Amino acid sequence: MTSIQSVQETVLKPYQQHKQLSVREAELISLELIGILCDSNCQDEATLQYLSRFFTPQLYQDLIDERNLNKRCGYPLCGKAPERIRDPFAVDDNTKKFLWENNPYAYLSIYCSKFHFRCSQFYQVQLSDESLFARTGIHLFNQSDDNAKCSTEKYSSTLFEQLLREKASDDDVKSLIAGLKKLGIKSDKEGDADDSDLQFETDLSKWLSEIQLGEHEKPAVWGDYEKDS
Ligand SMILES: [Zn+2]
């Protein structure tokens, strides 16, 4: 299990003396984060949110790939395997691309479920493209400095799970979808945008109703990673 504390202890501790990371230091931190997370899970939502200050979309994509190589669901909060284990060495990149574009269930070779596919997409689109070394002060434990606080807010993220919990009413589904579109979540298949939007809307309604039904019990959608932690 990876927690904020373990990231700070094992990855960030050597860099507490200065606010400005060098390019090399930023690279080392990125590599170490992938090294830790490709073979463990985030302990809680707060940990994944904390990590968004270090991730770029590309680094996060590398993490997903590495997790898949270790037969783990791409979403870092999850302890399961992808629904379909693929042999990463059996197909070349072109075949992979073809499969991804032509198989509507391709995400199941990367994630345990459609839900985590969506959670992961939602997280990824919020990540900043800015290089890690340019994000001054984000690695410091002590964030009492106003500048540091300001920059960590800039790289904060909201999780899809949290949004669903907060917006668990049907009336909000439309505004939620509008928000996701604004964030740039792309359709699964190019040139098929309308279908895929509709599909996403259906998925959302389904997840929301499961949450509402499960008000007193633990809703199934959340269950999978809470059980593991
Ligand atoms: Zn999963």
179 C-alpha to ligand 1 centroid (Å): 23
- Report the C-alpha gap between 85 and 200 in whole angstroms: 24
pLDDT at residue 203 in the model? 73
pLDDT digits 0-9 by tens, 34-54: 999 999 999 999 999 999 999
73 C-alpha to ligand 1 centroid (Å): 5
Give the residue-averaged pLDDT of 181-198: 54
Range in 12-16, 25-29, 75-79, 191-195 the model is least confident about: 191-195
Give the residue-averaged pLDDT of 78-102: 76
The torsion defined by the Cα of 134, 37, 125 and 62, in degrees rounded to 10, comes to 80
- Report the C-alpha gap between 156 and 51 in whole angstroms: 9
Asked: is 4-157+221-228 a CATH 1.10.20.10 domain? The reply is no
DSSP H stretches of helix in the chain: 4-7, 23-37, 45-51, 57-69, 93-102, 114-124, 146-154, 160-166, 173-183, 193-213, 220-228
Residues with CB under 5 Å of ion ligand 1 are 73, 75, 78, 80, 112, 116
Q: Is 133 left (phi over 0), alpha (psi -120 to 50) or beta?
A: alpha
pLDDT at residue 75 in the model? 97
Q: Measured at the alpha carbon of residue 129, what is the angle toward residues 178 and 42, in degrees to the nearest 5?
A: 80
pLDDT at residue 220 in the model? 44
DSSP state at residue 168: -
46 C-alpha to ligand 1 centroid (Å): 17
175 C-alpha to ligand 1 centroid (Å): 26
pLDDT at residue 226 in the model? 42
pLDDT at residue 111 in the model? 94
Answer yes or no: is pLDDT of 175 > 50: yes
Q: Please tell me whether residue 2 adopts helix, strand or coil conformation.
A: strand
Give the residue-averaged pLDDT of 168-176: 61
pLDDT at residue 47 in the model? 97
